[in-house]
Each structure stands twice: as structure tokens, then as C-alpha cells.
Amino acid sequence: MNSMVFSTGGDWNSTTLFNNGEEVMAAQLLVELHAGRDDYGNPDGGGVACGGEMTAIVRPQDDPQSEIGIFPGRLEVNAPGHSLIIENLHPAFAFEMTNCWYNGVDITRNVMDILVDVNAVTDQVKAYVTLFKPHWISADEVATYTIL
């Protein structure tokens, strides 16, 4: 089982990726999660419980064409002012068993999108989380928080 920790201070020199305590020399860390939508693609309460899909891979520096799956396991992303944890410990990676926390708050039932794309080959970094907050009387809210 993987226990990955990605940390950055905001530049490449401060960026590390560890798996089970050992440093991983990666060309790319990619996590893309989509959930919390109805049959028409509109925001819907329930987050992961609504179903969805996720890609979560690491491409090693010595063979950037190969993909190593992150789950089952846990991924922790630490950046200045942000903490994101995604966990799925199910041996067959059942999507509905995915749990997510952002800055210590359980967002599993509110998550719509998570993207973490740290690509050393193309020198691009992007990370954000999009949450849905339904309201009974007032308008629903969709908010995107930029991590990197």
C-alpha cells in the first residue's frame, strides 16, 4: 500500500515526493478526480457518493512513459497555506471508498474536482480543488481553491 507525501515550498528546489518514507524521483505526479455531478454534469450534493472517476499516477524520471498507480493508498499534498489528503484503502480501488480532506476539513461529500499536476518534464505545476455547497433556500455555491 502506498503512503505518498508531496511537499513544496513553492519552487522546484523545495519540492519532494516520498512513498512509504523513501524519496521518489518523479517526472510527473498526476491526480485528477471528478465527482459530485448529476446525470447532466451539473453540480450535485454528495461528492464522491454520487460516483465519479479518478486518475492517480506517478511517472518515474527514469521511465516517464510508464505509469505507477498511487491507490490503494494515501496521498498527502502539502503546499504553503494548503493541505490536501486523498485516501482510498480499498484493495480493488472502489471509487466510492475515496475520502478527501482539505486543510483538515472532510470534503468527501462536497468535492467536485481535484487536480494535482506536477510535471517536471514540461516545467508546469497546477493544483486546485473545487467544492459544491448546496443550500436549501438560497443559491448553491461552487468554489475553486487554488493550491499551486
How confident is residue 138, by pLDDT bands cut at 50, 70 and 90?
Answer: confident
Q: Cβ distance 1 to 93 under 8 Å? A: no
Q: For 82-94, how does the pLDDT look when each residue is reduced to its tens digit (9 = 90+)?
A: 999 999 999 999 9
pTM of the shown model: 0.92
Cα distance between residue 78 and residue 66, in whole Å: 25
Q: Is the dihedral of CA 9, 14, 20, 26 positive or negative?
A: positive
Cα distance between residue 90 and residue 113, in whole Å: 21
Q: For 63-80, how does the pLDDT look when each residue is reduced to its tens digit (9 = 90+)?
A: 999 999 999 999 999 999
Nearest to 116 by CA among 39, 44, 33: 33
Distances (CA, A) of 80 to 15, 84, 93: 12, 11, 30
Mean pLDDT over the full length of the chain = 93
Cα distance between residue 71 and residue 119, in whole Å: 19
- Residues forming beta bridges with residue 146, ordered by sequence position: 128
